[in-house]
Every structure is written in C-alpha cells, then in structure tokens.
Amino acid sequence: MKILFLEQFSELGGGQRNLLDLLPAVVERGWSPTVAAPGSGPLFGEARVLGADVSPIPLGKYSNGHKTASESMQFGLDTFRMARWIRRSDADLISVGGARVLPAVALASRGRPVIFQAQHFMTDARALGISRWAIRRARATVIANSLHVAAQYGTPRVIYNGVAEIPFAVRNFEQPWRIGLIGRIAPMKGQVDFLRAARRIDDARFVICGSPMFSPGSYAEEMYRLASRLPVDMLGWRSDVAAVLRDLDILTVPSTPAEATTRVILEAFSAGVPVVAYAAGGIPEIIRDGENGFLVPECTPEALARRIDDARGCDLRSIARSAREEWERRFRIDRYRSEMLAVYGASGY
C-alpha cells in the first residue's frame, strides 16, 4: 500500500516527530510512505533516512489563528494548487497530520481513504468549521490524540501518543534545583509564565530548551527580556531531548488550553523527571495530581511557583516511579505504532 503523509510544516514539531516515530513500522509492514510538506525543513531529511520518499507541496507560510484577508486569498489559491498535486499522486491512502491541508485533500481525495490525525485543539472557530466540512467531504476517519481534541470532532477514536524509551534515572534533587521547560517558543507553551513563576522560586536554576517556530517575534522578545534578569540557561533547540531531561530535577509544562497531550510529558515520565503542569487542555488526561505528577488548576505564574515549591517538599522519587509505570502501561512507542497501523490496515484498501 502506498501512503501519502501530508504535513503542514516541515519543521520538527510534535506532530512531525510523531510521524517520524511511525515511519519505521510503516516500512517494516511493507507499505510505501511518501512524506509531503511545505518548505525545506529537517522533516524531509529525517523521513528519507527512515525509508520514505519525500516531496515539497505548494503551501505558503501563514500566521497561526485568525488569517488576514490577504492570507485568506493566498490560502485559497494554495489549496487549489495542492489539490491538483494530490490528484496526481498515486497514493492508495492519504494520512493528514495538519488541518491546514485538509481542504485540499477534500477536493482531491477521489474516493481514496483519508485518515486525519487531529493533534491540536483548534481555537479559531472559522478554521474549525472548515476542517469539519473537509472531513465530511473527504469522508475522513478522524483519530484524535486526546479526549480534549476529540470533543471538537464528535466522538472519533482516541489514540494517545507514544514515545521511545528514555532510560529511567534516579535523581538526588540537590540544591540548586534544575527546573526546566522544553518546547518550541510560543504562547501555547508558556515560557513567559514559566519565567514569571521563576522570579518567585529560590534555590533553583532554570532551563529553557526550544526555539521559535510558528509564533510571533514579540513573544520571544518578552521571554528574553524576562530571562535576562534570572539565572536561566537558554539552550535553544536540541534534538536530544533525553540529554536535556537528564540534567533536570523538575519539568514544567505551563501550556494553554490549546495543548493536547504534549510529548515531552511522556518523555519525562520515561526518564523519571517529575512534571509540574497546568491543568489545561488534554494534560489532566495523563497526569494524576499527586500520583504521577503535579497539576496547577489555577494556570497562573503565581500558582505554578507555589506548586513547584509544594512538589519540592514531596517524595519525588515515588512520583517519578509512578510516572515511569504509567509510561510503561500507556505510552510506549510500540503501542502507538500498533494502534495506528491497525487504523491504516482497516482503511478498506
């Protein structure tokens, strides 16, 4: 079976990393994957190494959320260009990893099975309406990565992400504490809230790992302004998440309600790094407060700082062991691959 994997970015965000995790199992199954995305980002090189063909698609860069009038006009033109490109594809099945390419698929699928991986909670009502229309027109099967995201599309099947094992390490939790945030620099990920919380935390050094990808420059500027007054190590983007986690005592995830179930929490579970996260989006589906991590219901910097201080007084080794057990039960990469391949195999091809 030939599968066309369509992504809306060729940079390596969480959705693209999920695809890269899936490709070895697709190739091992004897299927032929083609990965298509706009731009010329690192997704192409990584996918090629894993045995996929790659191809750029005619889709420009757009701001997240509400589009300007000129962007809307350009998007319409890009959609028709993409549709022509998709019609020429000899794929037996189309797997869509981003809502931005759904309208083109709806116009061009021509009865071929379509799988839409809903990996983000959509905050723009107009964009959500267009996605729902495209899903109906393409008769797409929707797979959501959390109940939080699934609620936007009725009652689709939920397949939680899985991640490769990061070796578990017991931590000493000695002062100064190393408290970090890993993720692309964007309002959704909460770096500014993290730094505002850091101003209220003693006996700690802070780490931010990530780079701006799809967010406005003003957010990064605010982050750097706050960081300049604090003991913060700005690591930039790192491909080896395991190495970054190895040096942390606590991982924070102060994400907005637009977050689904971010991969980095699952990676921290595997590595034995306790997580303190906002109780936002799909995060409460994977963290049980006080059992395998810590939730912050108020979702404010002040509350985050208090919860981090609370966590430092708890038995964090027990929390880390519970989180590791959770990863072993629910979030192993082989479970994710098995469930996704079952969906592709049952597509009717």
CATH superfamily of 177-330: Glycogen Phosphorylase B; (3.40.50.2000)
Which CATH number is associated with domain 2-162+332-345?
A: 3.40.50.2000
Name the residue with tokens 């589009």.
Answer: 67
Q: What integer is the mean pLDDT of 31-46?
A: 96
Partner residues linked to 206 by β-bridges: 179, 232
Residues 326, 149: Cα–Cα separation, whole Å: 21
User: What pLDDT shows up at residue 82?
Assistant: 92
User: What pLDDT shows up at residue 62?
Assistant: 61
**Tokens of residue 285, six digits:** 């589906």
User: Which tens digits make up the pLDDT trace of 252-274?
Assistant: 999 999 888 899 999 999 999 99
User: Which tens digits make up the pLDDT trace of 198-245?
Assistant: 999 999 999 999 998 766 688 999 999 999 999 999 999 998 999 999
* pLDDT above 70 for 322: yes
User: What pLDDT shows up at residue 307?
Assistant: 98
Average pLDDT of the chain, as a whole number: 94
Confidence grade of residue 74 (pLDDT, cut at 50, 70, 90): confident
Q: What integer is the mean pLDDT of 98-103?
A: 94
| Contacts (Cβ under 8 Å, ≥6 apart) of 45 | none
Q: Model's pTM, two decimal places?
A: 0.92
Residue ranges of the chain that CATH labels 3.40.50.2000: 2-162+332-345, 177-330
Q: What integer is the mean pLDDT of 81-106?
A: 95
User: What pLDDT shows up at residue 155?
Assistant: 78
For the chain, counts of helices (H) and of strands (E): 13, 13
- The secondary structure element, H or E, covering residue 125 is helix 125-138
CA 44-46-47 angle, to 5 degrees, is 65
